[in-house]
Amino acid sequence: MGLLDTELGKRRLLSVDLPVIEKYNEGRDPDYRIRVLRVAGSLVLHYHLKPTHNLYAVETRLLSSYPTVPPETRVLTPLKHCPHLLEGQTLCLWRQGSTRTTSRWDPAKFTCIFAVQAAWRWLACYEIWHDTGEWPLPEAK
């Protein structure tokens, strides 16, 4: 059963996530707006981020288990391998191997825009790491 196949999933999308995406896009340059695509039972957000010097194409997937399970975000622009970069250029935004109670992701507090903001922060850290060799934020514990 997919995210878009349940009444609860549809209600969450219509009342929470889609309105915050619209708010995020409001007044934003068209090149930096989030585009939402339906892929099977999930939604994929396509967008661009420019935390400092470079422009990155990014996608965030809201899987069928969203919002209980956090979104998955990956960078489509080729990156140099670094800490916190998982297979397929997926960003390590949430504690790997964490449980719902130990993850930073909280579906009661966060929307998919939190994942977009976390991707921006990750990319800013990536650019600092690329320039200095040091990841500027502490490891998740």
**pLDDT of 100 over the 60 cut:** no
pLDDT of residue 141: 41
Percent of the chain with pLDDT over 70: 88
Residue 84 lies in a domain: yes
What total number of domains does the chain contain?
A: 1
pLDDT tens for 26-70 read 999 999 999 999 888 789 999 999 999 899 999 999 988 888 888
Instruction: Calculate the average pLDDT of the chain.
Output: 86
Question: Contact at 8 Å (CB) between 91 and 84?
Answer: yes
**SS3 (DSSP) at 59:** strand
Residue 140 lies in a domain: no
Average pLDDT over residues 106-121: 90
Residue 137 lies in a domain: no
Residue 81 lies in a domain: yes
Residue 141 lies in a domain: no
pLDDT of residue 48: 98
Q: What is the pTM of this model?
A: 0.87
Type and span of the H or E element at 38: strand 35-39
CATH number for the domain spanning 26: value is 3.10.110.10
Whole-number Å distance between alpha carbons of 125 and 97: 22
Strand 56-62 relative to strand 72-75, pairing: antiparallel
Range of the domain at 79: 3-132
**pLDDT-based confidence at 84, cuts 50/70/90?**
confident
**SS3 (DSSP) at 74:** strand
pLDDT tens for 2-29 read 566 777 777 888 888 999 999 999 999 9
pLDDT of residue 139: 64
Residue 139 lies in a domain: no
